[in-house]
Amino acid sequence: MTGDDLRARRANSFGARASAYAEHRPDYPAEAIRWALEPLGEGPRQVLDLGAGTGKLTGGLLAQGHHVTSVEPNEAMLSELVRHHGAARALPGSAERIPVPDGTVDAVVVGQAFHWFDPARAMPEIARVLRPRGVLASMWNDYDDSAPWLAEFVRTAQSSVSAQDELAFDPMTGHELFDDEETRVFPHAHRRTAESLVAMVNTHSHALVVPEEERAAMNARMLAFLKSRPETAEGEFDLPLTTYVKRTRRVAH
């Protein structure tokens, strides 16, 4: 299997685990969402959540009073989004074919999804739907492995396809239709138990596409490690995360 084939398999792997994704994936810090939209000023805005998945970012946008259109290509993921976030306008679509008219949104936000886009097609399409000087912001969560136990856990949680590690980050590329790029990092945490942390890892694409035998061995390895550590052996704990946000603005002309 080529790298592109594996990437395609990973991109299409989430639907079968949509309910687990909704249950176990982390949300995004309110401060990160506010900073992403800060150039637009105060008040509710028309915001498009692109590659919205089950609505982890949609929920945070709604909580801050924005009018949200959520676009997601996977039917099962979109169904979960509607179930959890009925106030959003939910539409099937992709970053390369966004089902909204030209110049009708103030911001496009992307949570943990930009790495699945084709930037050559997605960036002009995003620019098309944005108003002049509108915001494009990509955000993604990653482990804060400055905690020694978590750095060791991350090594324990590797699968045979984890070497495609460029998928860990959202490479929102520069484009002539956008300027004023800025980046900010926010601390975050996700309340977990040993079992629910293993369940969270099982919603990651690298775990979804490996054979069942490998996944079972990986799960047993992760659980044994977590049960051996005082930080994670009993009850709930905070999983330390870092949320990265990259924002840029649609040029005025």
Q: What is the pLDDT of residue 202?
A: 85
Structural domain boundaries of the chain? 3-143+164-191+239-250
Whole-prediction pTM: 0.88
78-95 per-position pLDDT tens digit: 999 999 999 999 999 999
User: How many angstroms separate the CA atoms of 215 and 161, rounded?
Assistant: 11
Longest CA–CA span in the chain (Å) reads 58
Burial status of residue 182 (CB atoms within 10 A of its CB: 0-12, 13-18, 19 or more): middle
Nearest 10 degrees: Cα torsion 93, 95, 97, 100: 70
Here the tokens at position 149 are: 């136990």
The per-residue DSSP string of 28-48 comes to --HHHHHHHHGGG-SS--EEE
User: What size, in residues, is the chain?
Assistant: 253
Here the tokens at position 154 are: 């991350």
- Residue ranges in the chain whose pLDDT is less than 50: 1-2, 6, 8-15
Which architecture does CATH list for 3-143+164-191+239-250?
3-Layer(aba) Sandwich (3.40)
Q: What is the DSSP letter of 120?
A: H
Q: What is the DSSP letter of 96?
A: S
